[in-house]
Amino acid sequence: MGSSTVDFESPSQSATRRIAGLERAGSDGGAAPGKAATRVSLRVLTVNTHKGFTFLTGKFVLHALRDAVRKVGADVVFLQEVQGTHTGHAQRFPTWPQAPQYEFLADEIWPEFAYGQNAVYPGGDHGNALLSRYPIAHWKNHDVSISGPERRGMLHCALDVPGCALPVHAICVHLGLRETHRHRQLALLCDLIHREVPADAPLIVAGDFNDWRRNAHRILARGAGLHEVFVQAHGRAARTFPVGFPMLQLDRIYVRNVGAHSPVALPRQPWTRLSDHAPLAAEIVL
């Protein structure tokens, strides 16, 4: 695969890239000679869970998805299309968890989580969720649905990360399928950031942007000062859809006010069997 794909590499290559990213962050011009600046590092993961089902066969794979998410070792996980409740699936699938999917995925690894309910229908609901190793000081779900039956949201959380002087703001995003909707939703995202995120606070915006025309980079750079981790590293956003043969650059990790950042390589398997989107991960030094 070229550099525009999800950069699947071996675990040793992934570790090398992670260390390189941390070394770059340590070379702070304000640090004393011979001493690296102490910085806080976060590993983040974003994945569209497809409600716990495979893309083509419709097999229920939430348990395998939980194992895969755990192995990434992320501190903060951005989830899209995560199921809150579904009475029909609970009756049909013997291994359907009693807890909402986001609680099941969090389990004992991520003690803090927030869920933004976007779509409600007879017998169930789904939306975005954020899992965190660190306290979520406050959170709010923003309904950015434009028109018609398609329901979309942005989940904004402020995290208290030890060693970080300011709260880290994290926004989990799932934008619409129609380009006109996405343009309006990106404007709403910029408005949200101006209104709720201090200008000097660390900010991470990640999720499924459905931005196959690649308009979000320009809009978010001009409107909110955001830049995308994979674009900065490779010149292009990662191709994440469809997961078996990624062609479209739909998923993103944008940052602002961070010290350094680098993509984290993920193995191709088992992710190709777990959703319709490939996941993205990054190491971010605050």
pLDDT in tens, 200-233: 999 999 999 999 999 999 999 999 999 999 999 9
CA–CA separation, 82 vs 66, rounded Å?
12
Determine the Cα–Cα distance for residues 187 and 193; give it in Å rounded to an integer. Answer: 10
Of the listed ranges 8-22, 160-174, 203-217, 247-261, the one predicted with least confidence: 8-22
Question: Does the model's pTM come out above 0.75?
Answer: yes
Examine residue 31 and state whether it is found in any structural domain, yes or no. no
User: Could you tell me the residue range of the domain that residue 189 belongs to?
Assistant: 11-24+41-285
Q: Is residue 220 within a helix (H) or strand (E), and if so which, with residue range? A: helix 216-224
Residue 172 phi, psi (nearest 5): -95, 125
In angstroms, the Cα distances linking 151 to 68, 148, 241 are: 28, 8, 21
Q: What is the pLDDT of residues 24-64, one digit of tens each?
A: 333 343 344 444 557 899 999 999 999 999 988 899 999 99
pLDDT of residue 57: 85
Place of tokens 């083509």: 56
CA distance linking residue 242 with residue 239, whole number of Å? 8
Please report whether residue 6 resides in a domain: no
Taking only the tens place, the pLDDT of each residue in 3-26 is 334 443 333 333 333 333 333 333
Number of structural domains (the chain) is 1
The answer to whether residue 240 sits within a structural domain is: yes
The single residue listed with the structure tokens 């078996």 is: 244
Task: Say if residues 116 and 172 touch (Cβ distance below 8 Å).
Answer: yes
Look at residue 5 and tell me if it is in a domain.
Answer: no
Q: What pLDDT is attached to residue 218? A: 98
Give the rounded distance of the alpha carbon of 133 from its chain centre: 15
Tokens matching residue 35: 């001493």
**pLDDT score, position 37:** 54
pLDDT score, position 140: 98
Tell me whether residue 77 is in a domain: yes
What pLDDT, on a 0 to 100 scale, did the predictor assign at position 178?
97
Whether residue 33 lies inside any domain: the answer is no
Query: How far, in Å, CA of 107 to CA of 35, rounded?
Result: 38
Domain assignment present for 2: no
Q: What is the pLDDT of residue 32?
A: 43
Least confidently predicted of 29-38, 51-60, 143-152, 190-199: 29-38
Percent of the chain at pLDDT > 70 equals: 87
Q: Residue 107: give its domain's CATH number.
A: 3.60.10.10
Is 210 within a domain?
A: yes
173 closest CA partner among 8, 46, 19, 41: 46
